[in-house]
Amino acid sequence: MSNTLRIATWNINSLRLRLPLLTRLVEALNPDIICLQETKVPDELFPDTTLPELGYPHFLRKGMKGYNGVAILSRVPIKQVPDMPLWCGKDDCRHIAAQIDLPRGPLIVHNFYVPAGGDEPDRAINVKFGHKLDLVAEATAWFRAQPPRRAVLVGDLNIAPLEHDVWGHKQLLKVVSHTPVEVKGLLEWQSEGFIDAVRQHVPHEQKLYTWWSYRNRDWRLSDRGRRLDHVWITPDLTSNGFEILKDARDWPQTSDHVPVCVEVGV
DNA sequence: ATGGTGGGGTACCCA
């Protein structure tokens, strides 16, 4: 018997504005669990009557006014994992974790929104870059102290770690999201017990993106993408396959990120 | 080299 869960992640860049697009996501990917980042909605304004109609009666959310915000929507019952760290001492709604009780034992789903990090890749002059590095380092230390098992970690991690996770490796070495110090940090975090559940299916010399800037008029033609959105699993789970919903980048009034979905053997 | 486009919320900040 194989038990699987389809787990999707999407930086939706305003949940309220793009609520209609969630229907398309469900039709295209049929996920059991949807992890969202940049919901940009305070909890008291969360659309909690619409989500059950979409087929997701179970959800957790952690939102604030204007910025950031994460949510986990589920077809099956979930409960919030309590007592998670306040990363970098900030209560800025960048992480939420769910527990799903399954026949083989509980599964933990972590949903992260790592800071973008500003423009200048130098923490001496850009506190946002320092914040990004610090959050990644804190998360690394946290998972080192309590090694994950039966866990899935998803989110907009805002770092493209591999050469072919960006359109131009050399061009982007000094661009925030692909600098060596960020890449090193992200890979160290991943090495605390996780496997890249998407890249394991794709040769490393093949380009793979999940984000295309709004600033390119013809995003598909210029194809200056980056793989900023990730799905990691612990080795006691299996990644049976994945989908990067590139077509979502052409949806009306869409996000600059596209959804990523992995079918996980749990 | 620069600026290009979005969202939030109503002046800029953030991506």
Q: pLDDT per residue over A150-190, tens digit each?
A: 999 999 999 999 999 999 999 999 999 999 999 999 999 99
pLDDT tens for A33-71 read 999 999 999 999 999 999 999 999 999 999 999 999 999
Footprint of strand B on the protein (CB under 7 A): A 13-14, 16-17, 40, 65-67, 115-118, 128, 158, 213-215, 217, 253
Where does chain A show beta strands of DSSP type E? 4-11, 33-37, 58-62, 70-74, 79-80, 95-102, 105-113, 151-156, 195-196, 211-212, 225-226, 229-233, 238-244, 260-265
- Closest residue to B8 (CA, C1′): A66
Nucleotide with minimal C1' distance from the CA of A64 is: B8
CA distances from A178 to A124, A155, A163, A170, A252 (A): 18, 17, 9, 10, 29
Beta carbons within 8 Å of A11's beta carbon, 6+ residues apart: A36, A37, A38, A113, A156, A211, A228, A229, A255, A256, A257
- Give the residue whose CA sits closest to B14 at C1': A67
Which residue type occupies A143?
F
- Indicate the DSSP class of residue A253: T
pLDDT (tens digit per residue) in A110-152: 999 999 999 999 999 999 999 999 999 999 999 999 999 999 9
Name the pLDDT band for A263 (thresholds 50, 70, 90): very high
Residue A2 binned pLDDT confidence (cut-offs 50, 70, 90)? low
Bridge partner list, A241: A263
Q: Residue A217's pLDDT is what?
A: 86
Query: Whole domain around residue A79: which residue ranges?
Result: 4-265
pTM of the model: 0.97
Number of domains, chain A: 1
Query: Residue A243 belongs to a domain with what CATH number?
Result: 3.60.10.10
